[in-house]
Structure 1
Amino acid sequence: MHLAVVACGDRLEETLIMLKSAVLFSNRKLKFHIFAEDSLKPEFERKLQDWPSSHTKKFEHKVYPIAFSVGNAQEWKKLFKPCAAQRLFLPVRYPDSDK
């Protein structure tokens, strides 16, 4: 099962709690797609590695940069804040994944 999440600003801890809840309440192996500001990437990597092995064996993760994937990035930036718009690009970034 794939789970995509966007984290910016001071949302690191909130996002980690959400991810841990998914691990604890899921019977399936999870794949986290974490879209985060560059400054948060090392923190995500460090904190996820610090989880107990009983948790870390139940998921894989990848941290992606915040990016406007379609068209003119400058135009998109005028319309949306970068973190708020990331979910709009998920179908483009993962065309082979089911909803």
Structure 2
Amino acid sequence: MLTGKQKRFLRSEAHHLTPIFQIGKGGVNSNMTRQIKEALEVRELIKISVLQNSDEVPAEVAQILTRKTKSLLVQVIGKTIILYRTSKTDPKIKLPS
């Protein structure tokens, strides 16, 4: 669970990031989940965008992804989702306490 201070820190870190995954009409599938897990292990903090043509609700997609990738939800703003998970092998982001 992230504190308010940690969420603010991660939002500021994610501000300059561009979304590296897009969720379209197909929704979330097992292949996408696996790729997101791999990206979280390398980057720790990622942005995902839900495309306009998608029938998915971004908040629901965020809940599904956090559960399947064992990550933490930083923010859902509009159609953009920000996820965080500490890397098991090489942690880069130091969260404030």
Query: What TM-score does the superposition give when structure 1 sets the normalisation length?
Result: 0.40
Q: Which has the larger radius of gyration?
A: 1
Tell me: higher relative CO, structure 1 or 2? Use CA pairs within 8 A at least 6 residues apart: 2
Higher helix share: 1
